[in-house]
Structure 1
Amino acid sequence: MSAPDRPAGDGLRVVAIADADSFVKWSASLLASVPGIRPRLLLVRTPLTVSAAQQETALAGTGIHPDDVTRLAFGDVEPWLERQQPDVVVLAGRGPFVRLMGRVVDALPHRPVTVSGLPGMAIPAQRGALDYRRHTDLLVLHSHRETRAFAELGRRIGVQVPSALATLPFARSRERMLAPERVRTLAASPAGVAVDERPRAGEGVSHRPRATDIVFAAQAMVPAGRDDRAKIAEMLVRAAEVDPGRRVVVKLRSRHGETETHLEQDPYTALLGGRRPDNLVLSYQPMAEALQTAAGLVTVSSTAAIEALALGVPVIALDSFGVGKSLLNTVFVGSGLLGGGREVIGGRFRHPTADWLRDNYFHPSRESTWWERVEELVALRRAGGLPARRVPPPRGGPLHAAWHRASVLGREDRSISGRLALAIGAPATGALGALKRRGGESGGRTWADASTDYTLEPSPHHDSIRR
């Protein structure tokens, strides 16, 4: 689907460039929160690019119209951007995608301000996440804890990227729940769990409808082992069997033939097989819709937990497989949300502590100043006071550049140089990556260090963008 070229209106011209599902949802939701702009979304064809159905799910509730979405091959991106002349470009993709699109921006005669970010919780702050985005003008972070973690990581590796705080786009409705004049109560009944906020006299009553579903937010990367994922599948079956009157909803992000941001080795559709009770259902609907009928949400470390808390839905963050950086669940330490399978089966979901909320994604909206910072950067650029942060040429020359391009684009890169570079470089980089991951598993390395919120070594998860 391709929209006709046209200016974005009286406000700043803003384009988000994305491919994978979580980045499409994040960038669209982030820009939809900014008044006075008409955002455009440019989807570049890569192995991770969302399908039409995934696009519809990702854009649900953002207000971004399908006419404002354009799909292009990589070779058409630069001339399209030249025609659009955006003031701001949000580079929304995994690190190698951001760096590749950064080189496209570097070639534009009219240089926009470049913004990057991560589509959900980013604790621990990972070296690659920062390093790949080091040449953007602004890094958007979503909590005070993330801001501290990325600042310390930057000091450790000598990378300084200006950052600014945003409200996680899926967590805006929570601030009213933090207001001191409201009293939150949980009411249990045979019909489920209702969240009731009792206001002071003169205020209207706000409440969430009664709901009974247990919603499980599946993740591709954690837990990584097939046995652990099978244990989760067994837990979900047991939860459904214990109470046939409630639904257990397995919220998935990709159907057969679709891809996700991260590579899933053992999908729950296969692990559940034909063992599903009638009340254990698979769902591909937007998470916001699934949560409307949820009495509780369970996950290992999905950002869906934040989306649920924003709506007043209690959560269990599974600690059945431990708590550690490789499980991406250290962010929940001190939240009061950690729990095991027995709590899930019994429906004993939790609400977080107020101190944890304020430090982790639920700060007051007045502290989210990322867009004000973007406007300042645009003014500086127009005045000639903001030097370009250009992506340097690859150290390996043209062959390295071809390998990087082909690694991101996959089959969409039909160049001879790309095929040659992959044939030569893929085995070598695979071996090097495995060696680095093995080195990071030894004791005393930062992936095993529970005292920090950042890591210095490559991720222990094998998560290639080549599919």
Structure 2
Amino acid sequence: MADTDSYVKWAAALLGSMSAEWDAELFVLDTPVVVSGTQQTAAVAGSGLARVTRVAYDELAERLARERPDAVLVAARGPLVRVVTRLAAGLTPRPVIVSGLPGISIPATRKALVYRTQCDLFVLHSRREVREFAALARDRGMEQRFALTRLPFAAQAPRQVAAESGGTDLVFAAQAIVPRERDDRLRVARLLVRAAEADPSRRVVLKLRAKAGEHQTHAEQDALPDLVASLGPVPANLVTSTAPMSSALDTAEGLVTVSSTAAIEAVARGIPVIALDVFGVSSRLINEVFDGSGLFGDEDDVVARRFRHPTPSWLRDNYFHPPADDDLGVLLAGLVARRREGRLAPKPPLARAGGRVRDAWERKLVLGANDRSASGAAALAIGMPLRGVVRIVQRLRRPRAQAA
């Protein structure tokens, strides 16, 4: 089950990469940020997954009960993972519940763990990610089982050498919230114009995740196409694309990004990369993972197209470990065997106050109008005023805490 663009792409590629012994289907869940039909087509393209069905939340419990799946992959943002996992855990017999993150997941975060407390298996994509999440779980006293597998759309990428493929495009992988500030995003827009003007014979492709009006996993402010247009006449060789990333890379000389997972997809194809570091290196920019990779570069490097290949030592620890290290298939098969034998131990949700009212409140928050239950409406009527009071109290306490 998935809903947003990045999670649909990840789930489709992961399911499509599984061995033939698995009978896999993807439910695209109707939420306020669900992919459009165009986004869904692009996200599923090349995954090898044949069965994709759009499902309303009201239908989900019945569909799962009828399918009686051995395992359910909940591929979504954390709050929705918690809601759907709670639903799946109520099935009898309950399926193995799997979740994960669709791209670069360094640094490990407590929230990612908290939202997936009730999941049996947490999928990650590098030895470093597994190491850091396992350490965080130990430090927080949280029990979780982690599985390692290569990023599926990177593992499936056809190997090529950009110089031999004839690619000439500079592809910039845009991100909705990186960088976040308007001035920084305007700086990116100016850089794209400058790179296009430096060589009118070669294209600069602004690769977008969504068209205007379409949703993304993260809400975007100050869209780059709008900022580019605000600078004046757009060079003819600066173009936008919402095609699948795999298609954009087919004609790429190199890829530029701040921290998009597209960098991993490009590296998998032998296409050089510049990880733009002019805004710094921090967890907020999701680019700490590139430390030691040799991929960092500045604006002058982008304009001159001085793309880089990563260092071998970085590759082994970050997304390009040997396939033999992958253990997702083994761990998942073991959990399914336990389920079929009636030995799959239940995993309780994270303890918190509120009971069923809290459950209904969380469901209503993530589903919005797509939750048509009476309990959701009642929880919203009670919860919104309470949340307002809590926030006022927190604001009043903050100056005292800072003073202390």
Which sits farther off after the overlay, 47-56 or 31-40? 31-40
1:49-84 deviation line (CA, Å, top 9, x unaligned): 11110100000001122xx11212111101101111
Distance 1:245 1:322 in 2: 31
Distance 1:253 1:433 in 2: 36
Residue 164 of structure 1 aligns to a residue whose secondary structure is strand
Higher helix share: 2
Which sits farther off after the overlay, 331-340 or 415-424? 415-424
Does residue 20 of structure 2 align to residue 64 of structure 1?
A: no
Q: CA deviation at 1:398?
A: 3.1
What is the aligned partner in structure 2 of residue 230 from structure 1?
186
- What does 1:412-451 align with in structure 2 at a 5 Å threshold? 412-426=370-384, 429=387, 432=391
What is the aligned partner in structure 2 of residue 384 from structure 1?
342
Distance 1:256 1:174 in 2: 28
Q: State the number of aligned residues.
A: 395
Does residue 240 of structure 2 align to residue 247 of structure 1?
A: no
CA RMSD of aligned residues (A): 2.3
Does residue 102 of structure 2 align to residue 119 of structure 1?
A: yes
Structure 1: 5+ residue stretches without partners: 1-16, 178-185, 187-192, 195-207, 444-467
Residue 165 of structure 2 aligns to a residue whose secondary structure is coil
Letter of the structure 1 residue corresponding to residue 356 of structure 2: P
What is the aligned partner in structure 1 of residue 306 from structure 2?
348
Q: CA deviation at 1:397?
A: 2.6
Residue 281 of structure 2 aligns to a residue whose secondary structure is coil
Q: CA deviation at 1:32?
A: 1.0
Letter of the structure 2 residue corresponding to residue 258 of structure 1: E
Higher strand share: 1
Does residue 354 of structure 2 align to residue 369 of structure 1?
A: no
Distance 1:326 1:434 in 2: 27
Distance 1:239 1:432 in 2: 45
Does residue 227 of structure 2 align to residue 299 of structure 1?
A: no
Distance 1:222 1:268 in 2: 11
Verify the 8 A CA contact 1:171 1:362 in the aligned structure 2: no
What is the aligned partner in structure 1 of residue 280 from structure 2?
322
Verify the 8 A CA contact 2:169 2:202 in the aligned structure 1: yes
Letter of the structure 2 residue corresponding to residue 134 of structure 1: T
What is the aligned partner in structure 1 of residue 6 from structure 2?
22
Distance 2:237 2:175 in 1: 21
Distance 2:217 2:386 in 1: 24
- What does 1:90-239 align with in structure 2 at a 5 Å threshold? 90-172=73-155, 194=163, 208-239=164-195
TM-score w.r.t. structure 2 length?
0.92
Verify the 8 A CA contact 2:5 2:40 in the aligned structure 1: yes
- What does 1:250-329 align with in structure 2 at a 5 Å threshold? 250-273=206-229, 275-329=233-287
- Judged with a 3 Å threshold, the aligned counterparts in structure 2 of structure 1 residues 43 and 55 are, in CA distance, closer, same or farther, namely same
Distance 2:193 2:259 in 1: 20
Q: CA deviation at 1:420?
A: 4.3
Query: What percentage of residue pairs aligned between the two structures are identical?
Result: 52
- Judged with a 3 Å threshold, the aligned counterparts in structure 2 of structure 1 residues 174 and 40 are, in CA distance, closer, same or farther, namely closer
Distance 2:52 2:103 in 1: 22
What is the aligned partner in structure 2 of residue 54 from structure 1?
39
Q: CA deviation at 1:308?
A: 0.4
1:98-137 deviation line (CA, Å, top 9, x unaligned): 1111111122112111111000010011111111112111
Structure 2: 5+ residue stretches without partners: none
